[in-house]
Amino acid sequence: MADANFRFYWLVESLIDFIPYFIGGLLASSAVLTSSVFLARRLLSEWLLPTEKAILLWMKERANPTLDFWVTAITFLAQGQVAIPLVILSGSLLAAHGKYELALILAINLSGSWLLNGIFKSGFQRKRPDLWASPNRPIDYSYPSGHSMGAISFYGLLAVYVSYFLNISIFFTEAIALLLAILVGLSRIYLGVHWPTDVLSGWLAGTIWLIACVYGLANVL
């Protein structure tokens, strides 16, 4: 019982210690995304939207059933149906080895990414592309891409864990995570559910959140 109470106390203390990094990630991401919106609307508005439309239509012209299948499978990797079971599985393995703080931060990474993305979407309220009919177009706002943000932050942190516990080069694991995040982002453009700048901003915000989580991990432990 005493051991359980100690673990609970340690987890709560770790969570409190992580709060400054969460706030820092939120503020840094907000500053970058707000600056990007200002730049796009005030300085690049004349050619940016037509360019984004051209990119979407160019990708649509190259669509085919085989590519549709693989793109849908790739974009699914950043959805909760995949990410949540991965968090549960990874967290259970970490907890079984006494690494409760690592499991907690992994859960914070994923849930925090979703929370931050929801805040940004509600704040900026950019409408999604509507250049062709699509039965799978989400009804929420577009900026930034939650799939892109979540993929680079969640799989990026998971890559850190894999590298540490399996003694694999961090460059190798992060390269795989980066490739996955790039493919997920491109899949969102291909499916016509995000503007290219939504994806770019999602990658940027996700990278900032990943850095905040890694710094928090290094200082909490």
pLDDT in tens, 67-89: 989 999 999 999 888 999 999 99
134 found inside a domain: no
What is residue 7's predicted lDDT score, i.e. its pLDDT?
A: 52
**177 three-class SS:** helix
Q: How many CA atoms, within 13 angstroms, populate the side-chain half-sphere of residue 213?
A: 30
CB atoms within 10 A of CB 147: 28
Cα–Cα distance between 166 and 59 in angstroms, integer? 38
pLDDT in tens, 126-170: 888 887 777 677 778 888 899 999 999 999 999 999 988 888 888
Token pair in block for residue 212: 């905040």
177 found inside a domain: yes
Token pair in block for residue 142: 């577009």
154 found inside a domain: yes
Domain that holds residue 150: 2-129+139-220
Closest among 131, 138, 153 to 202, alpha carbons compared = 153
Q: How far is CA 172 from CA 87, 119, 175, in A?
A: 21, 33, 5
Mean pLDDT of the chain: 82
CATH number of the domain bearing residue 73: 1.20.144
97 found inside a domain: yes
Total domains in the chain come to 1
Question: Helices 196-220 and 170-190 sit at what angle, rounded to 10 degrees?
Answer: 150
